[in-house]
Chains A and B, each alone.
Chain A
Amino acid sequence: MLALEKRPNPSRFWLYATPVVAVALTMVAGGVMFAILGKNPFEVVRTIFWVPLFGEFAWYLRGQLLVKAGPLILIAVGLSLGFRAGIWNIGAEGQYIMGAIFGAAVGLAVFPTENRLIFPVMILAGLFGGWIWAMIPAILKTRFNTNEILVSLMLVYVAQTILAMASTNFLRNPEGSGFPGSRNFSSYPAASNPELIAGTGIHWGVVTAVFVVVAAHVLLQRHLLGFQIKLAGQAPRAARFHGVSPNRLVVLCMGVSGALAGVAGLFEVTGPAGQISIDFNVGYGFTAIIVAFLGRLNPVGILFAGLLMALTYIGGEMAATNLGLPSAAIQAFQGMLLFFLLAVDVMTNYRIRFAAMGAR
């Protein structure tokens, strides 16, 4: 009979080994799922994890990797701060949409003015849009003790409706002959977010993501606020004695994660997506939750986790076109990864012991 025994201290080995083991287990379980779907599991796993990096079109796909990893990392770093403090913002998808709408609206309002200040102001508007959308659950939580999980999630649905309104109504391209969707930012240089170095996929969002990873790392390791965030999550009572105000942390963590999600949306809509359209958001706000956990809620870990998750997106698309794998399969695959991660995580804090039946 197996029994769990609590470790006196979390195992450092398993802290780093869990993501690796979880990915390996997901490959096995995913392989079984692909086999059930009638595909050759080895071929699919190779297409997802190997071909985008070293295959025939790797020169193009490696760039795409950064395009997809950028927003995931930006959002996940913000979310991880809250998750560490026990504040669950799961409405990043809504904040992402609102940031994109706010930022795009600013840019479109001054169309076709050419001024180098336009894009920075749009970035501020994107930050603000995400921040204000995250402030709703934050203020409701601090003022009325409302559950932030449910409120932030409900606001995703509201944001999606507003996005539909924006693309069919108030942000619609007046020269678009009635089709939904805004003007394309690629034909409006002052407000666009182009590739900075051709062929690398690096745009301002990717640069910001790297900067945010470093900033968050410094915050958590060297700054009092970072200590307070960690303390509030691990020992809420001790945090209260230490003088940490829970309400301040809620407002801060929700605000930062909202602003980062918002700016990620702005970079996406002005760059890779190109325009506000009904479905420009592809669920990065939700996938970022997996990224945050896969990266062990650690900024540097999230950097790698974001790249890995971007790889599954691109590999999934490759498998869809080359092998006819349904695109939903990759979503299930990503969900599976989170399951295995949470399951293997038990090894960090517990030891497995073989105990005799009936023995106490």
Chain B
Amino acid sequence: MDFGAINPVVLVASLMVAAVPIMLAAIGELVVEKAGVLNLGVEGMMIMGAICGFIVAVRTGSPLAGFAGGALGGAVLSAIFAFLTQFLLANQVATGLALTLFGLGLSALMGQGYNGIKPPVTGPVPFGPLADIPVLGRILFSHDWMVYGSVLVVAAVWWVLTRTRTGLIIRAVGESHDAAHALGYKVNRIRLGCILFGGAMAGLGGAYISLVRVPQWVDGITAGAGWIALAIVVFASWKPWRVLVGAYLFGGITVLQLNLQAAGSTIPVEYLSMSPYLVTILVLVLMSSGRGRAGLNAPAALGQNFHAAR
């Protein structure tokens, strides 16, 4: 194998960019699952965010408005999920799948006529002289604001979940909705809020794919990123900081295989492009079995609907 053609500094810098979408989607889903809801529609919410963000950014010419539109698109789709599962008590697994199928179709429909257009450029944050530091400058100070924003979101989620009363309530709802209900908390409303947050984060991640990562609109642009985000939540055993590690790990694999493809590696392209999915499976196996049993850390009420039967 020839690693010589790959510049490690560029590799690290670009893995940070590649990790942003899955990190945002995963941290949103982590909050949702902490509240005891399993939303399998991350892929659908991401792709809705991708197309909504793209349309808004192209129409307004402002990437910032685009990201806001992406978050809104993801949140609106997740509102359907919330309505079905929290108020009509529909099966969460089935509803999540429906969300993905519907999102893929609707996004392709909305994206008609947006193929081949370039979105407005999201420039790097001006760090001035810091960006000129050798190695570190390229790795740490050459990115757009979303790269730093995503890390801030992870930090904020960690702080809220572990250090605030709000976080305690969210976790209580996820561990035992009956107990939380008995204490007077509005289980369904709290879950609704968490689902909307998860949707907004997934939408933001999707918008990052279509506005920065690719950057253009193609049908099915997320290509399984939403499912990888779901896997990262398991990998992180529902701990916010590990989402950061997981996202950088998967971002690294994605970037590395793309670089190997470009560098003309002897490994056939097909094996390289299936590697992120195979690694996801491998990680799931490692995390789910043996001493590292991630399942033990899962919220106790995960996937169960709550109906206050007085």
In the complex, A338→B105 CA distance in Å? 13
In the complex, A28→B112 CA distance in Å? 23
Q: A286-B101, A338-B102 are in contact. Are A293 and B94 (CB under 8 A)?
A: yes
Q: Is the CB of A332 within 8 A of B288?
A: no
B307 close to chain A: CB less than 8 A: yes
Q: Is the CB of B80 within 8 A of A339?
A: yes
Chain A residue at smallest Cβ distance from B101: A335
B193 close to chain A: CB less than 8 A: no
Most A CB atoms within 10 A — which of B84, B224, B284?
A: B284
Q: Is the CB of A150 within 8 A of B284?
A: yes
Proximity bits, B103-134, A CB within 8 Å = 1, else 0: 11110110110000000000000000000000
Q: A146-B285, A342-B88 are in contact. Are A161 and B273 (CB under 8 A)?
A: yes
Q: Which of A102-110, A151-159, A183-191 contacts B (4 or more CB under 8 A)?
A: A151-159
Q: A146-B289, A342-B84 are in contact. Are A155 and B277 (CB under 8 A)?
A: yes
Q: A144-B285, A154-B224 are in contact. Are A149 and B93 (CB under 8 A)?
A: yes
Chain B residue at smallest Cβ distance from A166: B270
B163 close to chain A: CB less than 8 A: no
B1 close to chain A: CB less than 8 A: no
Q: A332-B105, A338-B102 are in contact. Are A151 and B84 (CB under 8 A)?
A: no
Chain A residue at smallest Cβ distance from B85: A342
In the complex, A154→B234 CA distance in Å? 14
B217 close to chain A: CB less than 8 A: no
B230 close to chain A: CB less than 8 A: yes
Task: Report the minimal beta-carbon distance from B274 to chain A, rounded to whole angstroms.
Answer: 4
Q: Is the CB of A146 within 8 A of B284?
A: yes
Those of A246-294 within 8 Å (CB) of chain B: 286-287, 289-290, 293
Task: Report the minimal beta-carbon distance from B223 to chain A, rounded to whole angstroms.
Answer: 8
Residues of A within 8 A of B268 (CB): 165
In the complex, A287→B104 CA distance in Å? 12
B61 close to chain A: CB less than 8 A: no
Task: Report the minimal beta-carbon distance from A297 to chain B, rounded to whole angstroms.
Answer: 10
Task: Report the minimal beta-carbon distance from A18 to chain B, rounded to whole angstroms.
Answer: 12
Q: Is the CB of B109 within 8 A of A326?
A: yes
Q: Is the CB of B289 within 8 A of A342?
A: no
Q: Is the CB of A157 within 8 A of B109?
A: no
A90 CB contact (under 8 Å) in B97, B224, B293: B97
Q: A150-B231, A338-B101 are in contact. Are A157 and B224 (CB under 8 A)?
A: yes
Proximity bits, B217-238, A CB within 8 Å = 1, else 0: 0010001100100110010000
B264 close to chain A: CB less than 8 A: no
Q: Is the CB of B94 within 8 A of A328?
A: no
In the complex, A155→B84 CA distance in Å? 29
Residues of B within 8 A of A360 (CB): 310
Most A CB atoms within 10 A — which of B88, B109, B293?
A: B109
Residues of B within 8 A of A37 (CB): 109
Residues of B within 8 A of A210 (CB): none
Those of A150-178 within 8 Å (CB) of chain B: 150-151, 153-155, 157-158, 161-162, 164-165
Chain A residue at smallest Cβ distance from B228: A154
Q: A154-B224, A154-B227 are in contact. Are A143 and B289 (CB under 8 A)?
A: yes
Q: A158-B278, A345-B90 are in contact. Are A328 and B109 (CB under 8 A)?
A: yes
Task: Report the minimal beta-carbon distance from B186 to chain A, rounded to whole angstroms.
Answer: 14
In the complex, A343→B309 CA distance in Å? 20
Those of B70-100 within 8 Å (CB) of chain A: 80, 83-84, 88-91, 93-95, 97-98
Proximity bits, A72-102, B CB within 8 Å = 1, else 0: 0000000000000000101000000000000
Q: Is the CB of B289 within 8 A of A346?
A: no
In the complex, A349→B309 CA distance in Å? 13
Residues of A within 8 A of B285 (CB): 140, 144, 146
Task: Report the minimal beta-carbon distance from A23 to chain B, rounded to whole angstroms.
Answer: 15
In the complex, A300→B291 CA distance in Å? 45
A147 close to chain B: CB less than 8 A: yes
Q: Is the CB of A153 within 8 A of B227?
A: yes
Residues of A within 8 A of B274 (CB): 157-158, 161-162
Chain B residue at smallest Cβ distance from A290: B101
B8 close to chain A: CB less than 8 A: no
Q: Is the CB of A342 within 8 A of B280?
A: no
In the complex, A287→B105 CA distance in Å? 12
B253 close to chain A: CB less than 8 A: no
B295 close to chain A: CB less than 8 A: yes
B40 close to chain A: CB less than 8 A: yes
Q: Is the CB of A145 within 8 A of B289?
A: yes
Chain B residue at smallest Cβ distance from A164: B270
Task: Report the minimal beta-carbon distance from A165 to chain B, rounded to whole angstroms.
Answer: 5
A4 close to chain B: CB less than 8 A: yes
B281 close to chain A: CB less than 8 A: yes
Task: Report the minimal beta-carbon distance from A127 to chain B, rounded to whole angstroms.
Answer: 23
In the complex, A333→B293 CA distance in Å? 40
A200 close to chain B: CB less than 8 A: no
In the complex, A149→B224 CA distance in Å? 13
Q: Is the CB of B277 within 8 A of A336?
A: no
Residues of A within 8 A of B95 (CB): 339, 342
A-B pairs with beta carbons under 8 Å apart, 6 shown: A146-B285, A146-B289, A154-B281, A165-B270, A286-B101, A339-B84
Q: Which 4 interchain pairs have the tightest Cβ spacing? A: A335-B102, A331-B105, A328-B108, A332-B105
